[in-house]
Structure formats: structure tokens, C-alpha cells
């Protein structure tokens, strides 16, 4: 009868409770292999060489005393001392070798793995420290791993190198920083099937939005080749985001996606050492397509949600997860190769909302992906190697190509970080979040555009794009205790348009979005006139035609590009506030604004006063734009039906006459957007005096109205709000305008439809907001920066009204 192994544990024998025996990484792999495979989570099989084996190796070699001599009293601030002592410690552990009985156990388990996967299969030999992947400290990347290891001798050598890597310089430094004793930490080794991602793709998954702390999405990043390029930020990866609530109800759709440049891919040689890996250029055709199909992304999202659900149940509290995935180019399967709790992400702390707001601007010196939703100023320090750590002073802005775990002592002292390469899940991004500092990653040529000593402000508080501004700029930090903010009877909704800020804005106290503007999405994310995409042959400028072609490259039809991007932008806003209502206004460009879109000048008439011209509802069924409106409607159907975001309501702007309203609603019905079907509500902007005068007739056609105070003031007072000459006469507080507001709100209440306002007036003039509350308006929509002050003002008016009622009753 074969003896039970002393130092080997199969993945099927390991649980999350075995951190002390096999380390955090392997405990998680074993937990998933044992508990989650029946629930569809695919984890490569393998075994652990336990932490007891590490201690046994050093005890058998009488190495403990030598190790203490090498490490006791090490100064991590003295790089020369750290390097010398770390090198000596690694030499001691490697020289200890592997005792024969341990060698026999390792090779026996390895041969069993070969029987499962085939004699030609290779393995990954991965370090797993007993203080690693913990909720309070990640220890990510501190020890070494070895890939594509083949053969028994190579496996044993990789195990010796793994044991020795417990004392890399960066691991020693990190343990001192976070207060772990070097001799109370041991190292286990995971030996597992090698997933041939060098022949396919790999990446990182977060079960939350890393920048806002928004919990209802799965963020998947990926690139071709081995995953280290994504983790270390050597490439700009693809990003795909999936919305959890609607995925769980059967709506299998990607919420939004961003195509990364993926310029290089990492492959490896036969030896399997880290030194044998190399980067090669990614073929252009692969760079221009996503490394994952939608269905593969959804499969990974399914697995990520199962992992999060499992670990949350174990922790007894929601547990966002940081997950590594890899696709095997041989069997085409998607594998989960690591999972750990997310550390250091959410910028909001408890019930206190913290917002960084830049109060001035200057020249933008560099831009990239924003990390951290914060702002910091400092002097630039260009660093090309971690060996330059002594040159870096606390409070400087670190600017470099990319970072690795060796850089963490420098990063800890930085005011902000800027890298040429990397995505939101790269090493620089993860460490910046953990240390609570802003970072701009994937900035392209930041090391060329910035110079040491230059004063800059790094802003990551303006959405997905992070900017490096010239000089030290002023900014505010606003803190609001939202837990104590009572909700008023009157709904306080937001005016939104930028999908990149939606998750962050959703943490504000709100009752949904009263106005989601389509125009920002079209201008910033689509950039092209819809008719130009559909009819490029009518664009007479060859350069514009080439730009239109480039935008739609990779799509079956150019119109598909417009539909997908618009649906993703609107869908992101709707997901951020789900299941609260999000009222989306159909496009309301004027002809001069449409003409400014790529290719637009070939489809738009020149008008003397575009404010009163071919805009809003008049365009939707008109032959000059009907095809473009059909794309808008297709995008809204995609967001509502395919993505499952049924909280989207639609709103028609600038509808002049009742007959026009009927025509537009009939046209929308023919395009699959029928009022009442699938719960669809359609609102109308109330911004023309005729809308107020005929509120009863319009109420028969729409579910509600949102007063557009800007246009209603313009048309009530006869003032062109674009004219600087007569701007002094534009005043929403005019008595005539106040009467219009009263008639509109009373008309809605009399006809039993929703009344709201989404113009600038309530944000600018608290007295207007107060009067609307007294009139009984259902909702007030304001800009995000005034939502708290408006809420407080409305609460005070409602308190006064309630007190008046009590006095009247008494």
C-alpha cells in the first residue's frame, strides 16, 4: 500500500481554509477546483507542494541560521543593503536543494497530472506564499512563477527557484512595509496544467468597476498571449463590461466595450523560465479585433459571478474579486487561473461621498486611462528603472513606461503615477488604487512629453480619460454624508450625458436620471453623422470618407457601428442607475451642430437661425433624416430589449404640434418602439409655448412631460439664447416665464401625467426650484454638482409646506 504523501495536496483536497498550508493563491485554486467546477467554473487541475515542504527543505539543510544572518536587520531604505541581503537569502534557499523523499512525492504527483493531460503537456510552477491574496494586502507579483515547464528535472529546478523567490528584493521590501515577519511567512508551490495562452489570449477580470466602486458590473480586460503584459501594463488591453443584474435575468449582451491597441504579445521558449519569455508584434488583423468574442466574454462573466457569489457567501459580506483568466490555444477552453479579493479600490468611503473637482484648467500635456477618481499635483520625476529609487522624492509624480512589483517602494511615495503603457487592470493601476493615489495609464508618449522637475496636476476625476495638466492647479475635495440625507417627496433626478461618469454619479443621492442627453455620446464616442455612415458615397471629401470607413471598420454595416456605440453609451448610463428610471432624450442637435459631425456638412441645410429650424421631432420622420432616426431607435431597442435595461424611458424634444407628435409616435411604432409595449413610456419635452397651451391634447399621447426651461424661456420672451447681444434679456425668473411654469405643472397634474423639469433654471436659481415644489411638480432634474444643494433646498421647502398645512389644520 502506497504511503500517503506528507508534502503534496491535490487541488481536489484543498479548500480556502488551507492558506497556512498552501498559501493564498493555491488555496483559492483548490477551493474553486473543488467547489465551483460543478457550477461551471473551469480551473486547470494540479497539486500543491505545501508550506511544510518549504520548512522541511530548510530544516534538512540546516539553513535557518544562515537565513537569519542574511536578513536580520535588513534596511529596505538602503537599496544596496537590500540587494546584497536578498541575493544571499535566495542563494541559501536554492542551495538547500530538494530532499529525496520530497522529490519522490513531487514527481509522483507530476506523473499523475501527465496521465490526465497527456505526456507532452507542460505545467506552470507558481509560487504561493502563506501571506498572499489576502483581503487586506495583495502581495501580488512578489514571488516568481515559471511557465511551460516540461520534464522532471526542469520541474524540480523550477520548484527550487520558486522556494528561493520568497526572498526577492521586492518581496522583502513589501513584507517590511506591511508588517509581516519574514520567518512567519512560508512558500507553497502550485503545479498545474499550463494553459497555452501564448497561442490565444489572457487577461484580468474585476467583478466591479474599479474606478467608481460600482458593484453591478463585471470588467473583463484581455490581450493576446501570456497574461503578464496585461498585469504589468505593457499593453493597452481590450475592455469588455457586462451588467450583472440583466445577465442574471437572461439578457446575454455586453454592456460596453473598448478596443485596445494590443501592440505586442508575450510568448515563451522551451525552458519555461521568466527570462525565456519574449514579446513579439501582434499581427495587425488581430490588433483590430477583440481578443474575445461576446459569447466568450459572457462565459467569463458567468464564471466571475459564480466565483464572487461563492466567496461572498464564505465571507458573509459582498466580496468583489480580482480574477485572472487564460484561453488555451490548443483546446480553445477558457480557464480561471487565479482569484483573490479586490484590495484598495473603492474611492467612496462608507456613507461619505468624496468628490474631487478641478476648479481651473491649463494645457493638457498627456492623457490616458484614469485610475482612482482623484487629483494630485507635484513635480515630475522620470524613472526608467526601479534601480533609480534613491532619486525619487516623496510627493513627486512618477512618470515611466510601465511598472512591475519591483517599483512598489517608489510608487508608495508618489503623489501620482503616469505610465506610457497599461490598462485599468495593470500593475500600476492596481497598486495606485491600493495606495490611494491617482494614476494615468496608457498615456502613450508621456515620457517624451513630460520632463523631470516640471510642475503638473494629474486629474483622474473627469471620467475614463485622465489628464496631466501643466502647472499646479486648484481643486476642491467635496465630502457629503449621504446616509443622513433624507429623501424629499419631490424626486431629485440628475441630468447626465457622459457614460464615463455615470457609475461615479450614481452614488449621489438621486431618484434616477431625468434627462440623459444623446448628443454627448454621438459627439464623443461616435463622432460621425448617421446619414454619412449610411451614405458615404454622398460625402464628397475623400479624406472624410476614409475617416468614416475607419470608424466602421470591423462592423458588418456602417450603421451597426452607430447603433452599437449609442446603445452602449445610453446603456451604461441606464445600468449605472438601474432600476431607477432613466429618461433618454432622442437627438436634439441643431443643423449647425449636426453639420459639425464627421460627414455632416453634406447632409445638413444652412439655416439663419438653427434654434428655430430643422431640429427635434421635425427631423424624425422627415426624408432627410428618417434613416438616421431609425438608427437611434435601433440603438434604443438594443439597450432596452437585448441588454434588458427596461428602466429606459424615451423623450421627444422640440415637438411643435399635436399632429407632429402623432406622426413621430407612429413612426417609432413602425421601428419597434411602441408606447406601452414592453413597458415603454414615452415623454415629451415641454419647451414650446404651444406645448403648454395644448397640454391636455399632448397628454393624450405621452406618459409625461419634462419642462425644458432654456428653450421655453427663449420662446416665451422671444430671446435668442445664442445671441450675446440680447443675452441680458434671457431670464427664467421673468413673470411671464413663471406663469408658463405654473400652467405646465398644473396642466400635467390635471391630466394625470408626470411633470418634471430638466432645464438649467432649478440649478441656477433656488427660488425657481422652491416655487416648483410649491406647485407640486413631480421631479426636478439638476446637474450632478448641484444635486446635494438642491435636495437640501427642496427638503426645506417641503418642511415649510408641511408646517403650513399643520397650522391650517389647527
pLDDT in tens, 72-101: 888 877 888 888 988 999 999 999 999 999
Query: Of all residues in the chain, what percent carry a pLDDT higher than 90?
Result: 70
CA–CA dist 596, 509 (Å, integer): 36
Q: Which of 141-155, 453-467, 638-652 has the lowest mean pLDDT?
A: 141-155
pLDDT band at 349 (very low <50, low <70, confident <90, very high): very low
pLDDT at residue 670 greater than cutoff 60: yes
**Catalytic positions, written as ranges:** 427, 758
Residues sharing a CB contact under 8 Å with residue 537, sequence separation 6 or more, in sequence order: none
Residue 359 pLDDT? 92
**Cα separations (Å) of 340 from 139, 207, 304?**
11, 11, 11
CA–CA dist 808, 773 (Å, integer): 19
E-only strand ranges, 145-255:
145-149, 187-193, 201-206, 217-224, 238-243
pLDDT at residue 304 greater than cutoff 70: yes
Is there a contact between 25 and 138 (Cβ–Cβ < 8 Å)?
no
Mean pLDDT over residues 554-570, rounded?
95
Mean pLDDT over residues 593-601, rounded?
95
Mean pLDDT over residues 141-157, rounded?
87
pLDDT at residue 710 greater than cutoff 90: no
pLDDT band at 351 (very low <50, low <70, confident <90, very high): low
Residue 170 pLDDT? 83
Q: Which of 163-172, 261-270, 414-423 has the lowest mean pLDDT?
A: 261-270
pLDDT at residue 448 greater than cutoff 50: yes
Residue 110 pLDDT? 97
Using the 8-state DSSP alphabet, how is residue 776 labeled?
Answer: T
Residue 208 pLDDT? 95
pLDDT band at 135 (very low <50, low <70, confident <90, very high): very low
CA–CA dist 612, 714 (Å, integer): 10
Cell of 505: 454619479
Cα angle 512-518-521, degrees, rounded to a multiple of 5: 110
pLDDT band at 274 (very low <50, low <70, confident <90, very high): very low
Cell of 477: 475635495
Residue 142 pLDDT? 67
Is there a contact between 129 and 166 (Cβ–Cβ < 8 Å)?
yes
Residue 726 pLDDT? 77
Q: Which residue's entry shows cell 389647527? A: 810
Is there a contact between 697 and 703 (Cβ–Cβ < 8 Å)?
no
CA–CA dist 272, 149 (Å, integer): 5
CA–CA dist 810, 802 (Å, integer): 12
Mean pLDDT over residues 705-720, rounded?
92
Q: At 439, which helix (H) or strand (E)?
A: strand 439-441
Mean pLDDT over residues 267-279, rounded?
65
Residue 270 pLDDT? 56
Residue 224: phi and psi, rounded to 5, are -75, 150
Using the 8-state DSSP alphabet, how is residue 349 labeled?
Answer: B
pLDDT at residue 482 greater than cutoff 80: no
Residue 345 pLDDT? 55
Cell of 249: 435575468
pLDDT at residue 167 greater than cutoff 70: yes
Strand partners, 267: 278
Residue 348 pLDDT? 45
pLDDT band at 725 (very low <50, low <70, confident <90, very high): confident
Q: Which of 190-204, 264-278, 379-393, 569-583 has the lowest mean pLDDT?
A: 264-278
pLDDT at residue 540 greater than cutoff 80: yes
pLDDT band at 165 (very low <50, low <70, confident <90, very high): very high
Mean pLDDT over residues 484-504, rounded?
91
Residue 324: phi and psi, rounded to 5, are -105, 135
Count Cβ neighbours within 10 Å for each residue of 300-316 and write b for 16 or more, e otherwise: bbbbbbbbbbbbbeeee
pLDDT band at 2 (very low <50, low <70, confident <90, very high): low
Cα angle 779-783-784, degrees, rounded to a multiple of 5: 105
Residues sharing a CB contact under 8 Å with residue 644, sequence separation 6 or more, in sequence order: 243, 245, 246, 249, 250, 251, 253
Residue 352 pLDDT? 65
Residue 141 pLDDT? 53
- Check whether the bond before 568 is cis (ω within 30° of 0): no
CA–CA dist 593, 527 (Å, integer): 11
Q: At 520, which helix (H) or strand (E)?
A: helix 518-521
Burial class (CB in 10 A: 0-12, 13-18, 19+), 90: buried
Mean pLDDT over residues 681-702, rounded?
97
Q: Which of 5-9, 195-199, 208-212 has the lowest mean pLDDT?
A: 208-212
How many CB atoms are located within 10 Å of the residue 639 CB?
Answer: 28
Is there a contact between 586 and 684 (Cβ–Cβ < 8 Å)?
no
DSSP symbols for 362-394: --EEEEEEEESS-EEEEEEEE-SSGGGGGGPPT
Mean pLDDT over the full length of the chain: 90
CA–CA dist 221, 12 (Å, integer): 29
Query: Of all residues in the chain, what percent carry a pLDDT higher than 70?
Result: 95
Q: Which of 173-187, 339-353, 594-608, 789-803 has the lowest mean pLDDT?
A: 339-353
SS3 of residue 159 by DSSP: helix
Strand partners, 242: 218
CA–CA dist 502, 520 (Å, integer): 13
pLDDT band at 145 (very low <50, low <70, confident <90, very high): confident
E-only strand ranges, 130-274:
145-149, 187-193, 201-206, 217-224, 238-243, 256-258, 264-267
CA–CA dist 41, 307 (Å, integer): 8
CA–CA dist 100, 706 (Å, integer): 79
CA–CA dist 430, 679 (Å, integer): 41
SS3 of residue 49 by DSSP: strand
SS3 of residue 757 by DSSP: strand
CA–CA dist 244, 643 (Å, integer): 11
Give the end-to-end CA distance of the chain in Å, rounded to a whole number: 93
Residue 449 pLDDT? 95
SS3 of residue 584 by DSSP: strand
CA–CA dist 662, 674 (Å, integer): 12
Residue 189 pLDDT? 96
Using the 8-state DSSP alphabet, how is residue 598 labeled?
Answer: B
Residue 766 pLDDT? 78
Residue 697 pLDDT? 98
Q: At what angle do helices 19-35 and 51-60 cross, to 10 degrees?
A: 150
Instruction: Express each pLDDT in 360-379 by its tens digit.
Output: 999 999 999 898 888 999 99
Residues sharing a CB contact under 8 Å with residue 800, sequence separation 6 or more, in sequence order: none
**Cα separations (Å) of 582 from 511, 666, 704, 740?**
9, 23, 13, 25
Is there a contact between 533 and 548 (Cβ–Cβ < 8 Å)?
yes
Cell of 703: 406618459
Residue 176 pLDDT? 81
Strands 475-481, 352-358: pairing is: antiparallel
Amino acid at each position: 500500500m502506497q504511503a500517503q504523501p506528507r508534502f503534496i495536496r491535490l487541488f481536489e483536497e484543498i479548500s480556502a481554509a488551507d492558506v497556512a498550508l498552501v498559501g493564498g493563491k493555491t488555496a483559492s485554486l483548490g477551493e474553486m477546483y473543488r467547489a465551483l467546477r460543478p457550477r461551471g467554473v473551469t480551473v486547470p487541475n494540479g497539486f500543491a507542494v505545501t508550506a511544510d515542504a518549504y520548512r522541511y527543505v530548510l530544516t534538512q539543510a540546516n539553513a535557518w541560521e544562515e537565513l537569519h544572518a542574511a536578513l536580520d536587520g535588513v534596511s529596505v531604505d538602503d537599496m544596496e543593503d537590500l540587494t546584497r541581503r536578498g541575493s544571499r537569502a535566495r542563494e541559501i534557499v536554492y542551495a538547500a536543494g530538494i530532499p529525496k523523499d520530497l522529490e519522490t512525492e513531487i514527481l509522483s504527483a507530476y506523473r499523475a497530472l501527465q496521465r490526465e493531460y497527456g505526456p507532452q503537456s507542460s505545467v506552470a510552477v507558481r509560487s504561493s506564499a502563506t501571506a498572499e491574496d489576502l483581503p487586506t494586502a495583495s502581495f501580488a507579483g512578489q514571488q516568481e512563477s515559471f511557465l511551460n515547464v516540461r520534464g522532471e528535472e526542469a520541474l524540480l529546478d523550477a520548484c527550487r527557484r520558486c522556494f528561493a523567490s520568497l526572498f526577492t528584493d521586492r518581496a522583502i521590501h513589501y513584507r517590511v512595509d506591511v508588517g509581516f515577519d519574514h520567518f512567519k511567512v512560508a512558500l507553497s508551490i502550485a503545479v498545474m496544467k499550463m494553459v497555452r495562452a501564448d497561442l490565444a489570449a489572457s487577461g484580468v477580470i474585476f467583478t466591479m468597476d474599479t474606478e467608481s466602486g460600482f458593484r453591478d458590473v463585471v470588467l473583463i480586460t484581455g490581450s493576446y498571449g501570456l497574461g503578464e503584459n496585461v498585469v504589468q501594463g505593457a499593453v493597452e488591453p481590450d475592455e469588455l463590461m457586462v451588467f450583472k443584474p440583466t445577465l442574471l435575468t437572461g439578457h446575454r449582451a455586453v454592456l460596453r466595450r473598448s478596443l485596445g491597441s494590443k501592440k505586442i504579445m508575450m510568448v515563451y521558449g522551451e525552458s519555461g523560465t521568466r527570462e525565456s519569455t519574449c514579446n513579439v508584434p501582434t499581427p495587425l488583423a488581430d490588433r483590430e479585433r477583440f481578443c474575445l468574442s461576446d459569447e466568450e466574454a459572457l462565459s467569463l462573466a458567468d464564471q466571475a459571478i459564480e466565483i464572487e457569489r461563492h466567496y461572498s457567501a464564505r465571507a458573509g459580506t459582498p466580496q468583489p474579486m480580482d480574477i485572472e483568466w487564460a484561453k488555451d490555444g490548443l483546446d480553445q477552453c477558457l480557464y480561471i487561473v487565479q482569484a483573490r479579493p479586490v484590495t484598495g479600490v473603492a474611492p467612496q468611503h462608507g456613507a461619505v461621498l468624496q468628490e474631487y473637482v478641478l476648479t481651473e484648467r491649463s494645457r493638457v500635456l498627456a492623457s490616458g486611462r484614469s485610475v482612482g477618481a482623484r487629483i494630485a499635483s507635484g513635480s515630475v520625476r522620470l524613472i526608467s528603472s526601479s534601480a533609480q529609487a534613491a532619486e525619487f522624492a516623496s510627493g513627486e509624480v512618477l512618470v515611466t513606461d510601465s511598472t512591475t512589483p519591483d517599483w512598489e517602494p517608489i510608487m508608495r511615495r508618489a503623489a501620482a503615477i503616469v505610465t506610457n503603457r497599461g490598462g485599468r487592470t495593470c500593475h500600476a493601476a492596481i497598486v495606485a488604487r491600493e495606495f490611494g493615489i491617482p494614476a494615468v495609464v496608457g498615456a502613450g508618449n508621456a515620457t517624451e512629453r513630460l520632463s523631470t522637475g516640471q510642475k503638473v496636476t494629474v486629474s483622474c476625476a473627469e471620467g475614463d480619460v485622465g489628464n496631466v495638466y501643466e502647472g499646479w492647479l486648484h481643486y476642491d475635495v467635496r465630502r457629503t454624508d449621504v446616509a443622513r440625507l433624507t429623501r424629499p417627496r419631490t424626486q431629485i433626478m440628475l441630468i447626465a450625458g457622459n457614460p464615463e461618469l455615470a457609475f461615479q454619479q450614481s452614488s449621489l443621492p438621486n431618484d434616477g436620471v431625468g434627462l440623459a442627453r444623446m448628443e454627448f455620446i454621438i459627439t464623443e464616442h461616435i463622432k460621425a453623422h448617421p446619414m454619412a455612415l449610411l451614405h458615404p458615397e454622398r460625402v464628397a471629401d475623400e479624406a472624410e470618407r476614409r475617416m468614416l470607413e475607419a470608424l466602421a471598420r470591423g462592423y458588418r454595416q456602417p450603421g451597426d457601428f452607430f447603433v452599437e456605440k449609442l446603445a452602449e453609451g445610453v446603456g451604461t448610463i441606464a445600468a449605472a442607475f438601474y432600476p431607477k428610471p432613466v429618461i433618454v432624450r432622442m437627438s436634439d442637435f441643431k443643423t449647425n451642430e449636426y453639420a459639425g459631425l464627421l460627414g455632416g456638412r453634406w447632409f445638413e441645410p444652412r439655416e439663419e437661425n438653427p434654434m428655430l429650424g430643422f431640429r427635434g421631432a421635425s427631423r424624425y420622420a422627415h426624408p432627410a433624416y428618417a434613416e438616421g432616426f431609425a438608427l437611434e431607435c435601433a440603438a434604443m431597442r438594443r439597450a432596452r430589449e437585448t441588454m434588458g435595461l427596461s428602466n429606459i424611458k424615451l423623450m421627444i424634444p422640440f415637438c411643435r404640434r399635436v399632429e407632429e407628435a402623432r406622426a413621430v409616435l407612429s413612426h417609432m411604432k413602425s421601428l419597434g418602439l411602441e408606447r406601452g409595449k414592453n413597458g415603454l413610456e414615452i415623454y415629451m419635452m415641454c419647451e414650446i409655448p404651444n406645448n403648454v397651451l395644448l397640454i391636455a391634447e399632448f397628454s393624450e399621447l405621452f406618459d409625461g412631460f419634462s419642462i425644458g426651461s432654456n428653450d421655453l424661456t427663449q420662446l416665451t420672451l422671444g430671446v435668442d439664447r445664442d445671441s450675446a447681444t440680447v443675452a441680458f434679456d434671457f431670464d427664467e425668473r421673468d413673470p411671464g416665464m413663471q406663469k408658463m411654469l405654473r400652467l405646465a405643472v398644473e396642466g400635467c397634474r390635471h391630466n394625470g401625467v408626470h411633470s418634471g423639469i430638466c432645464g438649467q433654471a432649478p440649478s441656477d436659481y433656488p427660488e425657481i426650484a422652491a416655487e416648483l415644489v410649491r406647485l407640486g411638480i413631480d421631479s426636478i432634474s439638476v446637474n450632478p454638482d448641484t444635486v446635494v444643494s438642491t435636495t437640501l433646498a427642496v427638503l426645506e421647502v417641503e418642511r415649510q409646506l408641511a408646517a403650513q398645512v399643520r397650522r391650517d389644520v389647527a
